[in-house]
Chain A
Amino acid sequence: MAQLFHRSANAVARFTIFGGVFLLAGLGYVGWIFAHSSFMTGENVYLKQPVPFSHDHHTAGLGIDCRYCHTSVEESNFAGIPPVATCMNCHNIMWKREDMLAPIREAYAGGDAIQWSRVNDMPDYVYFDHSIHVRKGMGCEVCHGRVDRQPLIRQATSMQMAWCLDCHRDPGKYIRPREEVFTMGYRPTEDSRSMAERLLKEYDVNPGTDCGVCHR
């Protein structure tokens, strides 16, 4: 019986067997990149909002504290989205005829709410509480980035589990004094590691990495 394959087919067979390993690895790599891409995590993605509210202008420009609007961040799991009445505290005079603010004025007059697009949305199977993080000396900026430099707000981090665990395993990397939690651009004035050791003890920081800490 004649040979079915030419001798060169051996090389092809060897190449495809070994090449398959690289092909699979390559596919895995592509998958990994895809799973960590901002397309999947939402990191750095700007969402369309009904009113182009600028955190940059209101915090860095005017010096308004985060808690002026996010009133429940210190005592609730939810930081709080201000009602339009809060906007009208100033905008009953400031820029009161600006077209950009028309949705706010109309909602206020009609007793309606503005339907903002949610930027930071934890998956529903994750338990997250703002108040405990604030109490334990985690600055807003650690998770939300330099809000004072974001004209439009975006999700500043991947918010994937590995990101949560990075801090839960070693909170000393990010801890700061409670008085500085709402400060943007905080730089430690003392040696950061010894300060971290002191604060971890003082605030009794013990985040834990058991599944049940967050998936409860």
Chain B
Amino acid sequence: MKTDRWARSLVATVSVLISMAAFTGCADMKDQPHHEPLEYSSFFADGRSSRPLVEGTVARGHLRADDRIYRGLEADGSFVAQNPLVVDAALLSRGRNRFEIYCTPCHGRVGDGQGMVVQRGYKQPSSYHIDRLRGVEDGYFYDVITNGFGKMSSYASQVKPRDRWAIVAYIRALQLSQYADLRSVDAAIGARLEAGEVIDTRRHDAEGEEEHHGTGH
């Protein structure tokens, strides 16, 4: 009789201990023995679980052999004159999107170099709307984004090659927006503009689309 009672309390104690162990087991599952991105690791001397790539490593299918696209350079080392990607509305809108994330803090939304960080005391970058920058090749802008210029660091780790070209296309659009030539518009509209009339370009474009429908305009 007495041993029976002992046995029973032993079973009870053990089962309580097992269930407690089971609960601590649950807590451990929240943090399993594998590394999340950038997690600390005591295994490596520098404490990083994300290992730096051996220099020159190229993932399959990711060889950046095309110098025109990936460096903005022609075979002779000069800058690519024209954006190697097809510049269409989609690329421009992507360019605007990326520009307003990565470039506006310093360059401002219209590229005048009056971004918020500049207003707070950063060295002011050149405005895009100067003769020198209107005259440079597209590849020049690509190179500056990729490798930095003056106080500006490289944006290669933040902006991917195709997005850099999209930004280049958008910078060109910004330049055009501040430096449109009267001769580049329709003569009739030019005359109206010279007479001092204000033309809503959005409405004009909508009309223009109807007028020139099917003429490839």
Contact = CB atoms under 8 A, between A and B. Distances in A.
A93 B153 CA distance: 12
Given A81-B38, A93-B151, A62 B46 contact: no
The A interface, classified by DSSP as helix, strand, loop or mixed, is loop
> What's the interface size class on B, roughly?
20 to 34
Contacts of B46: 112-113
B121 interface: yes
Contact of A90 (B31, B32, B101, B105): B105
Given A86-B158, A112-B46, A68 B29 contact: no
A123 B126 CA distance: 48
A94 B34 contact: no
A124 B151 contact: no
B40 A65 contact: no
A206 interface: no
A124 B102 contact: no
Contacts of B32: 124-125
Contact of B34 (A63, A68, A124): A124
B48 interface: yes
A68 B117 contact: no
B122 A115 contact: no
Given A63-B105, A68-B105, A94 B117 contact: yes
Contact of A85 (B116, B151, B152, B157): B157
B130 to A, nearest CB: 22
B217 interface: no
B107 to A, nearest CB: 13
A209 interface: no
B41 to A, nearest CB: 11
B47 A113 contact: yes
Which of A64, A89, A112 gathers the greatest number of chain B CB atoms within 10 Å? Answer: A89
Interface in A106-137: 112-113, 115, 123-125
A94 B105 contact: no
Contacts of A89: 152-153
Nearest to A62: B116
Given A124-B29, A124-B34, A90 B117 contact: yes
Given A90-B122, A94-B121, A115 B47 contact: yes
Given A93-B122, A94-B122, A112-B46, A68 B30 contact: no
A62 B101 contact: no
Interface string A15-47: 000000000000000000000000000000000
20 contacts: A62-B105, A62-B117, A64-B116, A67-B101, A68-B101, A68-B102, A68-B158, A83-B157, A85-B153, A85-B157, A86-B157, A86-B158, A92-B153, A93-B151, A94-B121, A94-B122, A113-B47, A115-B40, A123-B30, A125-B32
Interface of B: 29-32, 34, 36-38, 40, 46-48, 100-102, 104-105, 116-117, 120-123, 151-153, 157-158
Interface of A: 62-65, 67-68, 71, 78, 81, 83, 85-86, 88-90, 92-94, 112-113, 115, 123-125
